[in-house]
Amino acid sequence: MRVLVLLVTASLALAGCISAQERLELANRFLSAGELDKAIEVLTAAIDSRPDYAEAYLARAGALHKKGDDAGATRDATRALELQGDLPEASR
């Protein structure tokens, strides 16, 4: 049942029916479940809907790093810092 709820919510996220913040929360649930590809897809939708959302870039950087895409992770972490240089997570 939990998987079905996540999938329905993901469909709404990708269709643009929820906010960027709600997409970030959904992506975090996917990350907790080990669903990296789904998390990255939802985070990309969050970034597409709100290109200035530093937290989404930072979350996607973490997911990309876990997948082994260090170039993509570096790109997104750099963008998060450009958008909001005082993010403590990005400076670690």
pLDDT, tens digit, 9 for 90 and up, residues 47-84? 999 999 999 999 999 999 999 999 999 999 999 999 98
* Cα 17 to Cα 80: distance, rounded to the nearest angstrom: 24
Question: What's the structural domain count of the chain?
Answer: 1
* Cα 49 to Cα 87: distance, rounded to the nearest angstrom: 21
Domain CATH for 46: 1.25.40.10
| Dihedral pair phi/psi, residue 85, rounded to 5° | -60, -10
Domain range holding 8? 2-91
Q: Say if CB 13 and CB 26 are below 8 A apart.
A: yes
**Reported pTM:** 0.76
Token duo for residue 36: 């990296």
Q: Among 51, 44, 43, which Cα is nearest to 27's?
A: 43
Confidence (pLDDT) at 61: 98
